[in-house]
Homo-oligomer: A and B are copies of this chain.
Amino acid sequence: MPTPVVLDCDPGHDDAIAILLAAGSPEIDLRAITTVAANQTLDKVTSNARRICSAAGISVPIARGSAQPLVRPLYVAEDIHGESGMDGPAFGALSVGVVQEHAIDVMHAHMPATLVATGALTNVALYLRRYGPSAVREIVLMGGSTERGNTTPYAEFNIYVDPEAAQIVFTSGVPITMIGLNVTHQALVTPEILAQLNALGSLGRICGELMTFFATTYREVFGFAAPPLHDPVAVARVIDPSLVTCVEAFVGIETTGTFTRGATVVDLHGRLGREPNALVAVGLDVDRFFGLVIDAVRRLT
């Protein structure tokens, strides 16, 4: 039986591929997509969710969530994802709308389900505070890092944007799996992978164009030879947990530092004497991961 999933995201190039992976994999029953401001404003990322769903013929409910982080002002990743939040391809007419209910109410209507979160954790935190931690089975999230970050030296973007929300999630007692940069930086879209995507027809070419744009910003900003496919790794973990090696660890969310706000402090060596509160990804079967992505896009074509 497929795993029921609500996907909370901020498309975003890699979020778009995460949507395709979730919708195109028989192991997942994608029940709803909810949007959160992070890579770009709420209007833009919601529009992007509709664009990729329209292009792929995905018809699950899409619901708008938080337009800003819980406590602090919004910080967007225009340098990485462009002005639209999903620059690159030309998308056609929108065939998919948004529902009227708020993201957290839509999440609740589709429970029990696994919550996969690939943006800032604002909606997830609001959901936990409004409906309580028992109202979700588990949370698998892309965010954080056991090593360096990407937005500041020690903070990854999704956590940096809303550290207080991350604090709520990581202290909630809900089973958490954290997929951080330390593994997603292994999921590089090489020219070979790009060629495979481009060979999959019009949807594959849209994926190719997304990745081509993403490759440019990752090369310019970080000097990467190929762009990393962060968010789909969280979806892949739900499809097949054996793809992603995890360890139990305490993860502290830094909400107060001068230079470190948003850091995920993963206590791999038990130095802090705290109980583990998450499964933290430390390894990825890269080939099988990309196999899942290619298969999912092919199924949707």
Contact = CB atoms under 8 A, between A and B. Distances in A.
A263 B152 contact: no
Nearest to A131: B102
A268 B148 CA distance: 10
Question: How extensive is the interface on chain A, given as a class?
Answer: 35 or more
Chain copies in the assembled complex? 4
Given A259-B263, A259-B272, A66 B129 contact: yes
Contact of A267 (B67, B153, B253, B261): B153
Nearest to A132: B67
Contacts of A265: 152-154, 259-260
Main SS class of interface, A: loop
A259 to B, nearest CB: 4
A100 interface: no
A164 B130 contact: no
B70 A164 contact: yes
Given A129-B66, A167-B71, A168-B70, A260 B269 contact: no
Nearest to A67: B132
A28 B202 CA distance: 63
A17 B270 CA distance: 29
Interface of A: 66-67, 70-71, 102, 104, 122, 126, 129-130, 132, 146-148, 151-154, 164, 167-168, 221-223, 252-261, 263, 265-269, 271-272
